[in-house]
Amino acid sequence: MNTEIQCLLLLSIFLSALVCSCDEYYLYDEFGLGRSFDGIGGLSGGGATSRLLVNYAEPYRSQVLDYLFKPKFGASLQILKVEIGGDAQTTDGTEPSHMHYEDDENYFRGYEWWLMSEAKKRNPNITLIGLPWAFPGWVGNGENWPYGFPDITTSYVVSWIIGAKQYHDLDIDYVGIWNERSFDTKYIKILRYTLDKSGLERVKIIASDSLWEPISSSVVADSELRDAVDVLGVHYPGTTSSPEALKTEKKLWSSEDYSTFNNDVGGGCWARILNQNYVNGRMTATISWNLVASYYGNLPFGRDGLMTANEPWSGNYVVESPIWITAHTTQFTEPGWKYLQTVGQLMHGGSYVALTDGKGNLSLITETMTHDHSVCIRPPLLPYNVSAQNVTFHLRGSFASISELKVWHSKFDFKGDKTVLFQNLKPVKVIEGSFSIELDVDEVYTFTTITNGQKGSYPDPPLSAPFPKTYKDDFDVQHPYFSEAPNFADQTGVFEYFTNLTDPGPHVFTLRQVVTQRPVTWVADADQTISVIGDHNWQDLMVSCDVYMETVRTGGVFIALRVDKGGGVVRSAKGIFFWVYADGTYKITSDLRGIIILAEGFSGTRAHVWYTLTLTVEGDYASAELNGSPLWKNEVPSESRNGWAAIGTSSFELTQFDNFAIKAE
């Protein structure tokens, strides 16, 4: 640079400082770059969080998938993490295992295979991750612990990865250990060994999907473990990592984060952590629990997804602000880009990150989210201040010759209705390598050389509507690809389509509860199995179902209504439950545990016979019928006011259901 230009430059900086009193930030690459960016992702599962999405009619289902995965359209996600179903309750339901029993293998259960295929179809580059929350009981050999027989557990997990390739042509890129539970060093090493032995050297290991410790210290201390582990994945890190984690020199990921109600404060939370997980913690991937809120809103953590799609019966879905906040980063980066070393906090609050492809492209993302408008569900957020500020960015090194940057803008308006999300503004001119801008509070900007960002859109989906008041399923039309019947949300046990080919009677196609042993659980599954359906606001309704116990003497089956709870607290579900048993008795209880007994008596029921159960409630009175004949009628306790309908069994046992019907008032 000659002196004259230098003087002019200094003058211009001086003038711009005079004009706007800007804070100055320098973006350069002459002294090397920062860490490699690994992507932003969503987590389906942990558990059953995409349950209702599969049952959307087209074109709405594909539209939701496009908003999530289609590059340069919506969230354009770069990572999809899924649960490796383990037949147990994992937050909002159970997800089926590919091996319910030791001699059983089926790679077409659940919806995660389908979801991964749909994601890959839209973005062939998407990174796929599998992680177990729970395991079928046989894996633990009766113990509620997956590490007792590490050879069994690792080959179970590796079979899922092999099945993904064999049946769905899906290459799983990363596999985890045991979600938010303790890890076992020996197990991790055997997992690495088993992967390698199976020709899966390319599959990398994430550990341990919990806190920074003790995994960081273990990796530092144990070189064999260090070789086995590729990524330290931590949950809800509050944007910080630890000295020990940095010392491992491993990739650091926030492998589960967000979990916040998806209104605009949720969007603010997501904006803040997407930037600051790198700025404060050097984390190079952030994954949202969950991907899409496609589970009944009254289950735990309702609407904690990047968008909401929990009404397959209406087709309504809502593209929430976190989708567009994600786009600010994902549409202008690719995994493999590098962060610049010059990232950080802004002087009057907020943060900025910049990334490059190493070929001259630059994407700069700023966020100025205020404290109260960006609180995440956890951990607690310490107070801080943000105010409007004028900033000047100076582009140096490879970026010095950039003359113009595209601008994408979001601004949350919490007082009025002027929120704008992912709006394409006029490009900024970069004069002599610099540009200035006024950042207001609660804003997100992307300044980028990438020219093909796009705010995708579809016509408005159908209006929101409650679950239909009359509903029937005879399970005769069984989807060839999905194992579960629409709208049933299993909370303990697994209910799947069943075909009895030996007898062409009236019950060839049924729904069958198939878990026969208590799984290696992640939370406190009930001792009974239960699948809920319908509208949690329902009060007066009639539910009826044909049932078939397969367990002689000890079998038991129920239908229920006004069921108030699911998820991790399903054990304490209340409602009105009508049970019949294979020992010839019946019971009416106001709890799933079957201990608050309203009535009991003789029913003459036994295994291997079909019965029709009907349960009706109106106001304070309920009645039960067996094969159309009245069995019981009485007042019901006033605490059971509203809730879902449900079916289930009295223990982990095979039982079939047919001709399910609901009529609500």
Ligand X SMILES: *[C@@H]1O[C@H](CO)[C@@H](O)[C@H](O)[C@H]1NC(C)=O
Length of the chain: 665
* Residue 523, amino acid: V
241 part of the interface to ligand X, by CB under 6 A: no
Selected from 3, 359, 417, 595, the binder of ligand X by CB under 6 A is 359
Task: Identify the burial level of 553 via C-beta atoms within 10 angstroms of its C-beta, where 0-12 means exposed, 13-18 middle and 19 or more buried.
Answer: exposed
CB of 252 to ligand X, least distance (A): 23
CB of 505 to ligand X, least distance (A): 6
Pick 4 or 169: Cβ nearer ligand X? 169
Q: How far apart are CA 147 and CA 424, in angstroms?
A: 51
Selected from 331, 356, 389, 603, the binder of ligand X by CB under 6 A is 389
CB of 347 to ligand X, least distance (A): 11
Nearest to 367 by CA among 340, 385, 346: 346
* Known catalytic residue at 102: no
Selected from 8, 388, 431, 552, the binder of ligand X by CB under 6 A is 388
Instruction: Name the segment binding ligand X (CB under 6 A); options: 47-55, 357-365, 469-477, 584-592.
Output: 357-365
Residues 96-125 within binding reach of ligand X (CB under 6 A): 123-125
Instruction: Name the segment binding ligand X (CB under 6 A); options: 231-239, 355-363, 574-582, 636-644.
Output: 355-363
E strands in 605-664: 610-618, 621-626, 629-635, 644-649, 655-664
16 part of the interface to ligand X, by CB under 6 A: no
Nearest to 355 by CA among 329, 323, 322: 329
* Known catalytic residue at 244: no
Instruction: Name the segment binding ligand X (CB under 6 A); options: 244-252, 279-287, 359-367, 623-631.
Output: 359-367
CB of 113 to ligand X, least distance (A): 21
Q: Binding residues for ligand X, how many (CB under 6 A)?
A: 25
Q: How far apart are CA 613 and CA 630, in angstroms?
A: 10
Beta-strand pair 204-210/231-235: parallel
Instruction: Name the segment binding ligand X (CB under 6 A); options: 38-46, 92-100, 339-347, 385-393.
Output: 385-393
CB of 330 to ligand X, least distance (A): 10
Q: How far apart are CA 55 and CA 533, in angstroms?
A: 13
Instruction: Name the segment binding ligand X (CB under 6 A); options: 61-69, 384-392, 539-547, 561-569.
Output: 384-392
Q: Any idea which residue has 């069921």 for tokens?
A: 563
Decide if 47 contacts 290 (C-beta within 8 A).
no
Decide if 584 contacts 601 (C-beta within 8 A).
no
361 part of the interface to ligand X, by CB under 6 A: yes
6 part of the interface to ligand X, by CB under 6 A: no
In sequence order, what are the residues at sequence separation of 6 or more whose Cβ sits closer than 8 angstroms to the Cβ of residue 406? Answer: 424, 427, 446, 447, 448, 449, 450, 451, 453
In sequence order, what are the residues at sequence separation of 6 or more whose Cβ sits closer than 8 angstroms to the Cβ of residue 459? Answer: none
CB of 24 to ligand X, least distance (A): 14
Pick 56 or 581: Cβ nearer ligand X? 581
Identified catalytic residue from 118, 244, 256, 496 = 256
500 part of the interface to ligand X, by CB under 6 A: yes
2 part of the interface to ligand X, by CB under 6 A: no
Phi, psi (deg, nearest 5) at residue 243 = -55, -40
Phi, psi (deg, nearest 5) at residue 115 = -65, -45
Q: How far apart are CA 162 and CA 335, in angstroms?
A: 25
Instruction: Name the segment binding ligand X (CB under 6 A); options: 173-181, 380-388, 457-465, 487-495.
Output: 380-388
CB of 346 to ligand X, least distance (A): 12
SS (H, E, C) 334-402: CECEEECCCCEECCCCCEEEEEECCCCCEEEEEECCCHHHCCCCCCCCCCCCCCCEEEEEEECHHHCCC
Phi, psi (deg, nearest 5) at residue 577 = -120, 130
503 part of the interface to ligand X, by CB under 6 A: yes
Selected from 390, 419, 454, 651, the binder of ligand X by CB under 6 A is 390
Task: Identify the burial level of 416 via C-beta atoms within 10 angstroms of its C-beta, where 0-12 means exposed, 13-18 middle and 19 or more buried.
Answer: exposed
Q: Any idea which residue has 């039309």 for tokens?
A: 477
Residue burial 292-315, b: 16+ Cβ < 10 Å; e: rest: bbbbbebbebbbbbbbbbbbbbbb
Q: How far apart are CA 312 and CA 309, in angstroms?
A: 7
CB of 77 to ligand X, least distance (A): 11
Pick 124 or 628: Cβ nearer ligand X? 124
Selected from 9, 20, 400, 428, the binder of ligand X by CB under 6 A is 20
Pick 480 or 505: Cβ nearer ligand X? 505
Phi, psi (deg, nearest 5) at residue 512 = -130, 130
Phi, psi (deg, nearest 5) at residue 391 = -125, 150
Identified catalytic residue from 24, 180, 334, 550 = 180
Pick 382 or 595: Cβ nearer ligand X? 382
Pick 361 or 640: Cβ nearer ligand X? 361
Pick 380 or 383: Cβ nearer ligand X? 383
Decide if 171 contacts 125 (C-beta within 8 A).
no
CB of 371 to ligand X, least distance (A): 8
Pick 126 or 134: Cβ nearer ligand X? 126
Residues 431-450 within binding reach of ligand X (CB under 6 A): 438, 449-450
Residues 48-87 within binding reach of ligand X (CB under 6 A): 71
CB atoms within 10 A of CB 135: 27
Pick 30 or 503: Cβ nearer ligand X? 503
> Residue 560 is encoded by which pair of tokens?
């229920």
499 part of the interface to ligand X, by CB under 6 A: no
Pick 185 or 389: Cβ nearer ligand X? 389
CB of 590 to ligand X, least distance (A): 31
* Residue 611, amino acid: Y
Pick 140 or 350: Cβ nearer ligand X? 350
Residue burial 210-220, b: 16+ Cβ < 10 Å; e: rest: bebeebbebbb
Selected from 2, 3, 385, 629, the binder of ligand X by CB under 6 A is 385
CB of 297 to ligand X, least distance (A): 33
383 part of the interface to ligand X, by CB under 6 A: yes
Which positions are annotated as active-site residues?
Answer: 180, 256
Interacting residues toward ligand X by CB under 6 A: 19-20, 71, 123-125, 334, 359-361, 383-385, 388-390, 438, 449-450, 500, 502-503, 505, 608, 656
